C-alpha cells in the first residue's frame, strides 16, 4: 500500500518536473549524503579561536625575512598567495639560490627536496599530522617529531613551525641528512633560535607587540613565542572559509552536471574518498601512489622514502601523507616532489602509474625504486580503479568546488 502511494507520488511529481531534473535531484541527495558521510563538516566547525593581537604580530613574523639566518627568506617567500600558499615550483628553493627550476637542483645546498605544502586548514580542529612524511605527528595523542621527546609544545602546528627556520638557513645541509635530529643538532638549532629571538626582539615594530601578546617583557621572549605567533597567523589566515562545496552540502548550493558527475566518481567508483576524506580531504594516513620522482629526493640520488624517513619501518617506504585537497586547483605542481604539473595528470597517475614513466631517463637505481613503488601501490584501494579521460575531467570540475581565498594577502617584507 505504502509502495503504491510512493509510486503514485513519484509519478505525480514526474508529471510536473522533467524526468532529467528529477533524477538530478536524486543524484544531488545521494551526493550530499556521501559528502557528509565522508566527513565534511560546516567550515566554521573546524575553526580554532586565537587571540587577535597574537595573529596580528604573527603576520609580521610570517612576512619578515629576518626569520632566516641570512635575512633573505621569509615564510611568505615560499608560501605565496598566488600559488594557493605554495611556491608554484617543483622542489622548494631556500636561501641564496640562483637560476630557475632544475638548474638550481644541481647546486645542492639550499634546496628543500620536497614540493611546498599549502596551509589551508593547518592547525584547525583535528589537523594533527604535518609534512609529506608526517615528521610531526600528534595523531596518537602524543607528539612524535625530530625533537624526540623534547618537543617545545604539545601543539603540533607550533612544533611544525619550529622546523623551517632551522632548515632554510645555513644549516640546511646538516639537518636534511639528519632525519632524526641528534643531540648535537638540537643544540645547533638552539643556537639559530637564540639568534633569531635577539633579532626579532630588537625590531621595534615586532618585539614589543609580540611580548605584549604573550604577556611577557621583551627581554624574556623565547623562540616558542615566535612560533606561537606564526602558528596563530597560519591557523587563522588560512582557515577554511565558505566555498561552493560547503554551500552545496550544507546550504542551497547547486552543482553543474560535470561537477556532479565528478562528485559521484570521487565518492563512488573512483574511491578517492577512501583516502581523501574528513574535513580536510585527508585520512592523515600514509599511502603509496607510485608517483614519479623529480629532483634529488629527500634521501638523495632521486630517491624519497617518504614516511620511512620518520619511522624507519620498511613497510613505510614510498608512502606519503594523503595530501589535503582544499584549493588544490591552485597548488600546482603536484605530489611530494612536484613532478606533475596538471591536475588531470595527478589524478591519472593514481590509477595508471606507468603513464608517468620515462624509463629512458631513469638510472638503474631509479628503475628498481619505481618497481618497489609499484609493489606498494598495488596493495592500495586505488590500484583496481580505471578512469576514462572524461571522468578525470569531471573530477577536476568537482575539485574546483573546494576553493576559497585566505583572509588576508601575504607578501615578504624586510
Binding site for ligand HEC (CB under 6 A): 67, 73, 75, 77-79, 92-94, 112, 114, 116-117, 122, 130-132, 160-161, 164-165, 168, 230, 270-272, 274-276, 287, 289, 291, 320, 322-323, 328, 331, 334-336, 343, 346-347, 350, 380-382, 395
Terminal-residue alpha carbon distance, the chain: 76
| Least Å from the CB of residue 31 to ligand HEC | 15
| Least Å from the CB of residue 359 to ligand HEC | 19
Q: Which is nearer to ligand HEC, 144 or 287 (CB)?
A: 287
Contact 160, 166 (CB under 8 A): no
Contact 285, 323 (CB under 8 A): no
Q: Which is nearer to ligand HEC, 211 or 395 (CB)?
A: 395
| Least Å from the CB of residue 291 to ligand HEC | 4
Instruction: Report CA dihedral (393, 394, 396, 401) to the nearest 10 degrees.
Output: 150
Q: Which is nearer to ligand HEC, 207 or 306 (CB)?
A: 306
Q: Which is nearer to ligand HEC, 209 or 347 (CB)?
A: 347
Q: How far apart are CA 359 and CA 105, in angstroms?
A: 21
Q: Which residue has the cell 623529480?
A: 294
Q: Could you tell me which residues are beta bridge partners of residue 242? A: none
Q: Which is nearer to ligand HEC, 23 or 368 (CB)?
A: 368
Q: How far apart are CA 355 and CA 107, in angstroms?
A: 30
State which H helix or E strand residue 111 sits in. Answer: strand 111-112
**Mind giving me the DSSP string for 153-174?**
-S-HHHHHHHHHHHHSSTTHHH
Q: How far apart are CA 29 and CA 43, in angstroms?
A: 20
| Least Å from the CB of residue 313 to ligand HEC | 17
Q: Which three cell numbers stand for residue 389?
A: 579521460
Q: Which is nearer to ligand HEC, 31 or 289 (CB)?
A: 289
| Least Å from the CB of residue 9 to ligand HEC | 36
Contact 320, 334 (CB under 8 A): no
Q: Could you tell me which residues are beta bridge partners of residue 64? A: 413
| Least Å from the CB of residue 242 to ligand HEC | 22
Give ∠ CA 10-15-16 in degrees, rounded to 5.
100
Q: Which is nearer to ligand HEC, 28 or 179 (CB)?
A: 179
Contact 112, 169 (CB under 8 A): no
Counted residue by residue, the chain has a size of 414
| Least Å from the CB of residue 271 to ligand HEC | 5
Q: Which is nearer to ligand HEC, 93 or 175 (CB)?
A: 93
Give ∠ CA 326-82-391 in degrees, rounded to 5.
45
| Least Å from the CB of residue 67 to ligand HEC | 5
Q: Which is nearer to ligand HEC, 93 or 249 (CB)?
A: 93
| Least Å from the CB of residue 25 to ligand HEC | 25
Q: Which three cell numbers stand for residue 37?
A: 558521510
Amino acid at each position: 500500500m505504502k509502495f503504491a502511494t510512493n509510486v503514485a507520488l513519484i509519478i505525480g511529481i514526474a508529471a510536473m518536473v522533467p524526468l532529467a531534473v528529477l533524477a538530478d535531484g536524486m543524484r544531488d541527495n545521494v551526493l550530499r549524503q556521501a559528502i557528509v558521510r565522508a566527513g565534511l563538516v560546516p567550515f566554521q566547525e573546524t575553526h580554532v579561536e586565537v587571540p587577535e593581537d597574537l595573529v596580528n604580530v604573527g603576520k609580521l613574523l610570517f612576512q619578515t625575512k629576518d626569520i632566516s639566518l641570512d635575512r633573505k627568506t621569509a615564510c611568505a617567500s615560499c608560501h605565496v598567495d598566488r600559488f594557493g600558499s605554495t611556491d608554484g615550483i617543483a622542489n622548494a628553493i631556500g636561501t641564496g639560490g640562483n637560476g630557475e627550476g632544475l638548474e638550481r637542483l644541481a647546486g645542492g645546498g639550499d634546496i628543500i627536496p620536497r614540493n611546498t605544502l599549502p596551509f589551508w586548514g593547518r592547525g584547525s580542529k583535528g589537523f594533527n599530522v604535518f609534512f609529506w612524511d608526517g615528521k610531526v605527528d600528534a595523531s596518537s595523542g602524543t607528539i612524535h617529531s625530530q625533537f624526540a621527546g623534547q618537543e617545545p609544545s604539545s601543539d603540533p602546528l607550533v612544533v611544525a613551525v619550529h622546523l623551517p627556520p632551522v632548515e632554510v638557513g645555513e644549516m640546511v645541509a646538516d639537518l636534511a641528512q639528519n632525519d632524526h635530529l641528534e643531540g648535537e643538532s638540537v643544540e645547533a638549532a638552539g643556537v639559530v633560535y637564540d639568534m633569531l629571538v635577539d633579532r626579532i626582539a630588537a625590531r621595534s615594530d615586532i618585539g614589543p607587540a609580540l611580548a605584549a601578546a604573550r604577556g611577557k617583557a621583551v627581554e624574556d621572549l623565547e623562540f616558542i613565542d615566535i612560533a606561537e605567533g606564526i602558528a596563530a597567523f597560519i591557523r587563522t589566515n588560512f582557515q577554511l572559509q565558505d566555498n561552493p562545496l560547503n554551500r552545496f552540502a550544507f546550504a542551497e548550493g547547486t552543482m553543474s552536471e560535470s561537477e556532479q558527475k565528478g562528485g559521484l566518481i570521487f565518492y563512488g567508483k573512483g574511491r578517492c574518498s577512501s583516502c581523501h576524506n574528513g574535513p580536510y580531504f585527508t585520512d592523515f594516513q600514509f599511502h603509496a601512489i607510485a608517483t614519479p620522482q623529480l629532483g634529488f629526493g629527500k634521501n638523495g640520488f632521486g630517491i624519497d622514502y617518504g614516511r620511512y624517513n620518520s619511522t624507519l619501518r620498511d613497510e613505510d617506504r614510498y608512502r606519503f601523507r594523503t595530501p589535503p585537497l582544499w584549493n588544490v586547483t591552485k597548488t600546482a605542481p603536484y605530489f611530494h616532489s612536484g613532478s606533475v604539473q596538471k591536475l588531470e595528470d595527478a589524478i591519472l597517475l593514481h590509477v595508471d602509474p606507468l603513464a608517468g614513466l620515462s624509463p629512458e631517463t631513469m638510472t638503474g637505481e631509479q628503475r628498481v625504486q619505481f618497481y618497489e613503488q609499484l609493489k606498494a601501490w598495488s596493495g592500495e584501494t586505488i590500484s583496481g580503479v580505471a578512469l576514462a579521460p572524461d571522468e578525470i575531467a569531471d573530477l577536476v570540475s568537482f575539485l574546483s568546488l573546494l576553493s576559497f581565498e585566505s583572509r588576508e594577502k601575504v607578501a615578504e617584507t624586510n
